[in-house]
Structure 1
């Protein structure tokens, strides 16, 4: 797998430009009203035009219905659809076929059995994302800025390419890559100064640290 760095939860032209200037391969935009990173469709149109041809554009949704997905695709025109809810493998595959977009399915991990469950999506989605499982009672899906035991993913070897997420930041991403052998990483809150507020300095530092870590990981890994 070609090494990949994804910056997710972008919401302003400045943060988008910072991510692309730093060398991010993928830029993610959130369509989930409860998230501090949620963007409206007018913003999506503007940011999508700004990102087009400069990085892979990813739209993140959580258990979205067909009406919302259609609106997201119309507004952002993403290259990839990311699913961060309880979407079934069948749902993921059907949406990818319907809209003709590549798909990325996030799976929460807290124990070995969670990684085994991720295998159900190996073939339904084009990419997998291994994230921390939300803490009990969490209001939002995803890792909520918390890491999981990275050693759990050391032997994770699906047929599809996969990205590591969950509590990553500039100061630990290289260690996370070493611990897991991951060839791709995804960050959101780890490059923020406040919830939903991206920090351009942290974005640049994260991408640089991730590139260093990925360069030291054998090309044959995952």
Structure 2
């Protein structure tokens, strides 16, 4: 039997969609605490959503290059994970993990072989790695941009290094991605939306069902 696939639904903003993700079988739900994102949730909403999820599903708060006070504000809410989705160095990732006392999911943008070569530098600094499409030059934000990357680049990775896969996945493509890349988990945000930041419960369920079927 293969290890169970971890499915993360990111960019949840409302109690109803949180329930929909949990009911559809998500393993982790992600909340964006990044102001320039269309999926942004403030601290008060974060607290409510994390409380609603507690004991039902793992929670993850996404931060981009956060300062120490932001890290501690989020750590005080006791999510299961903090996802770092910015240009943080391995040293900074370790410092945030030590300071917050919370498991770190480090997202790394992949656009070329050089990016793949850098992945191993983060293996010990973070608790888990998420390989995402590198945002195009001039993009105003990281992640949730609906673009994929060349998965064949990942053949250069150490096969013993587990990682989650993100970047432009949809209910229609996630099965192909799982079969091609064999990640330990998959992460979706824009691929289950009808407009930027607007999640759809039926798309969430379709994504999770497609991912589970491909992994089985």
- The TM-score bracket by the shorter chain reads over 0.9
How does the TM-score come out when normalised to structure 2?
A: 0.95
Deviation at 1:156, TM superposition (A): 2.7
In the alignment, is residue 69 of structure 1 matched against residue 55 of structure 2? no
Over the residues paired in the alignment, what is the CA RMSD in angstroms? 1.3
Q: Which residue of 2 aligns with 1:101?
A: 102
- Residue of structure 2 in register with 1:84 after alignment: 85
Matched residue, 1:220: none
CA contact (8 A) 1:82 1:105 kept: yes
Q: Which runs of 5+ in 1 are unaligned?
A: 216-222
TM-score (norm 1): 0.93
- The alpha-carbon deviation at position 142 of structure 1 amounts to 2.4
Match in the other structure for 1:39? 41
Q: How many residues align?
A: 214
Residue 91 of structure 1 aligns to a residue whose secondary structure is helix
CA contact (8 A) 2:109 2:131 kept: yes
Cα-to-partner distance string for 1:173-203 (whole Å, 9 max, x where unaligned): 0001111111200000000111111100000
Task: Give the match's secondary structure for 2:66.
Answer: coil
Residues 1:177 and 2:174 aligned together: no
Which residue of the other structure, out of 8, 25, 37, is the alignment partner of 1:23? Answer: 25
Deviations 1:139-175 (A, max 9, x none): 1112611000112124533655310000000000000
- Asked if the contact 2:9/2:28 (under 8 Å) is kept, the reply is yes
The answer as to whether partners of 1:132 and 1:143 remain within 8 angstroms in 2 is no
| Native 8 Å contact 1:123 1:160 kept in 2 | no
Residue pair 1:122, 1:158 contacting (<8 A) in 2 also = no
**Matches of 2:95 and 2:21 in 1, distance apart?**
31
Query: What is the Cα deviation at residue 122 of structure 1?
Result: 0.8
Distance of 1:54 and 1:161 partners within structure 2: 24
Kindly provide the CA deviation profile for residues 77-118 of structure 1, in whole angstroms up to 9, marking residues without a partner as x.
211110000111011111112221111111101112111111
